[in-house]
A and B are shown apart, each in its own frame.
Chain A
């Protein structure tokens, strides 16, 4: 630790002690700025745009007027204190919020220019394009490893050009799990370790080839080694899929994301967007004092 601190002091002009670790991380991962400024990225599918999105549970407004852009093939991190509506917001992006009785969504959520809440849009189709990975690994307990990954593929109907087995292998490879499970594809998914289960859930989501992958604290139930594997995976996946990740781990946000959105609650306990920008800017030079306080760990 002392060594890191010393090096960080050399590079940054006015080191704020709490920020040093995060700044250091941003410095050592060069991909950040490059991708955020990549003009090509705008043309790829999987870009989302939120316009004054609000979400209610009954009469309670958990998310208020969030407007932000989620650029294609980038990692967008959502951070903020517990209860500020991150999970609620991320679930509005694949129309999963409306599964809860009494819930409601307002505003516009666009995917590649199309309003996913439009009256003619089928939520089932939205969810096929916008996949989701949950906080706790949740493989289907009655299914084998193979069937877990194949489940979504079979839903979409057989594809004559690609056999299911091939899709399953490809997805497990993308999720960096293939080598660990290739000899026991027929055994039950619940027999895997927590970290393996989470990668299985990622493979399961990837198998339907989504354009966007939503991850709600995917590592919070995992140990550091399993967490590192998922982070590596996220870095690799962003070449082929847009990723939105909710995390409480600020270092994780700094390590893996291109842009970061910071949320906070108002007096009515409604969550709202305080600030969004390139990850390096949010962690090193945020515009808002609130963001500054949060990322430097002054409250939490």
Chain B
């Protein structure tokens, strides 16, 4: 920069280039600013819209168990519970399944099996959620009702954590469906992470006289840990926000579910089912407040992911 060579011929180009640089900087600053504005706008809108509900119920809105349109009493707990229950359950199934699938595909399966199976997993991810919802209602729900829930309730009566409704449209159906929908995300990201681990680390461990399984456990999985956690949190975010398939299979009951066989409602499914017919005033405001709660849950998740990624990068010395 400080030593101009061939100043004469160079000068116009480089000034044109730096002008391009300036334009690019202004443009990208503008875009970044716009994103910030949009996020702030959404927040403001939600805060404003939910003000009435929070003014009426205070923080009690979060713990209120009734949602009664005729009495104008609105509490978010059933939906928070439904969201948390379905997401956590889906994660409990999808994380082990997804990680195991990814490990199988990239560490164990021979190429000619891995390639079609990977495609299959990607296909699942591409199915529109309304189609998954249809399948959930017609096939999964019917199977759960006739094949699992009715026989179980028939044999044991009402069990703790299961409930007795046994309609096939319930927490269990929605959670299973969610698990199916988020597994491809976990598989894809975990595979990506596994592929970044140098082959020489695996070979070094194999070279010490380790089996393939020992190598996966002692070398591969520990190095992939952060990535797997990141994948899981991303999948959790998707599970919490998923609307269509859940709305179609969860049974849409605005009360605290007593077990897996009980119909319930998540925040997303509640908004989807009720927004259209909601009357102006407290009900609308309360629905918006639900939206705000979901947004906060999602943001907390993003922050948790960030902190975690930073922490473990520092621990492994990569972020030096």
List chain A positions with a Cβ less than 8 A from chain B. Answer: 94, 96, 99, 101, 124-125, 127-128, 131-132, 134, 136, 138, 140-143, 151-152, 155-156, 188, 190-191, 201, 204-205, 208
Q: Are the CB atoms of B208 and A127 closer together than 8 Å?
A: yes
Once A155-B214, A191-B317 are accepted as A-B contacts, the answer to whether A138 and B201 lie under 8 Å apart by CB is yes
Complex contacts, B318 vs chain A, CB 8 Å: 141
Q: Are the CB atoms of B223 and A142 closer together than 8 Å?
A: yes
Closest Cβ of chain B: how far from A181's Cβ, in Å? 15
Q: Are the CB atoms of A138 and B200 closer together than 8 Å?
A: yes
Inter-chain CA distance A134–B205, complex, in Å, is 12
Inter-chain CA distance A127–B3, complex, in Å, is 58
CB-nearest residue of chain B to A131? B207
Q: Are the CB atoms of B211 and A96 closer together than 8 Å?
A: no
Complex contacts, B205 vs chain A, CB 8 Å: 140, 151
Q: Are the CB atoms of B207 and A101 closer together than 8 Å?
A: no
Closest Cβ of chain A: how far from B319's Cβ, in Å? 12
Inter-chain CA distance A181–B81, complex, in Å, is 52
Q: Are the CB atoms of A99 and B203 closer together than 8 Å?
A: yes
Closest Cβ of chain A: how far from B201's Cβ, in Å? 6
B contacts with A, residue count (CB < 8 A): 24
CB-nearest residue of chain A to B214? A155
Once A101-B110, A124-B210, A208-B209 are accepted as A-B contacts, the answer to whether A134 and B203 lie under 8 Å apart by CB is yes
Closest Cβ of chain A: how far from B109's Cβ, in Å? 10
Q: Pick the contact of B317: A96, A128, A156, A188 (CB < 8 A).
A: A188
Q: Are the CB atoms of B206 and A99 closer together than 8 Å?
A: yes
Cβ of B125 < 8 Å from any Cβ of A? Answer: no
16 intermolecular pairs with C-beta atoms under 8 Å apart: A99-B206, A125-B209, A127-B209, A128-B209, A131-B207, A132-B207, A140-B204, A140-B218, A140-B219, A141-B201, A142-B225, A152-B210, A155-B208, A190-B317, A205-B207, A205-B208
Inter-chain CA distance A155–B214, complex, in Å, is 8
Cβ of B64 < 8 Å from any Cβ of A? Answer: no
- Interface pairs A-B: 5 shortest CB-CB: A128-B209, A152-B208, A142-B222, A132-B207, A138-B200
Closest Cβ of chain A: how far from B40's Cβ, in Å? 40
Complex contacts, A94 vs chain B, CB 8 Å: 207
Complex contacts, B202 vs chain A, CB 8 Å: 99
Closest Cβ of chain B: how far from A151's Cβ, in Å? 6
Q: Are the CB atoms of A188 and B316 closer together than 8 Å?
A: yes
Inter-chain CA distance A124–B110, complex, in Å, is 20
Inter-chain CA distance A155–B213, complex, in Å, is 12
Q: Are the CB atoms of A201 and B204 closer together than 8 Å?
A: yes
Cβ of B198 < 8 Å from any Cβ of A? Answer: yes
Q: Are the CB atoms of A96 and B203 closer together than 8 Å?
A: yes
Mask: chain B, 159-180; 1 = CB below 8 Å from A; 0 = not: 0000000000000000000000
Cβ of B111 < 8 Å from any Cβ of A? Answer: yes
Closest Cβ of chain B: how far from A167's Cβ, in Å? 13
Inter-chain CA distance A163–B201, complex, in Å, is 26
Inter-chain CA distance A121–B281, complex, in Å, is 78
Q: Pick the contact of A190: B110, B198, B210, B316 (CB < 8 A).
A: B316
Mask: chain B, 84-105; 1 = CB below 8 Å from A; 0 = not: 0000000000000000000000
Once A138-B201, A140-B201 are accepted as A-B contacts, the answer to whether A152 and B317 lie under 8 Å apart by CB is no
In chain B, residues 21-54, which have Cβ atoms closer than 8 Å to a Cβ of chain A? Answer: none
Inter-chain CA distance A134–B214, complex, in Å, is 20
Inter-chain CA distance A63–B203, complex, in Å, is 20
Residue among A96, A128, A142, A201 facing the most chain B CB atoms (10 A cut-off) = A142
Q: Pick the contact of B200: A127, A136, A152, A208 (CB < 8 A).
A: A136
Q: Are the CB atoms of A138 and B198 closer together than 8 Å?
A: yes
Complex contacts, B111 vs chain A, CB 8 Å: 101
Complex contacts, B210 vs chain A, CB 8 Å: 124, 127, 152, 155
Inter-chain CA distance A125–B225, complex, in Å, is 29
Q: Are the CB atoms of A96 and B207 closer together than 8 Å?
A: yes
Inter-chain CA distance A131–B110, complex, in Å, is 26
Residue among A141, A152, A205 facing the most chain B CB atoms (10 A cut-off) = A141
Complex contacts, B225 vs chain A, CB 8 Å: 142
Complex contacts, A142 vs chain B, CB 8 Å: 219, 222-223, 225, 316
Inter-chain CA distance A190–B205, complex, in Å, is 16
Closest Cβ of chain B: how far from A212's Cβ, in Å? 12
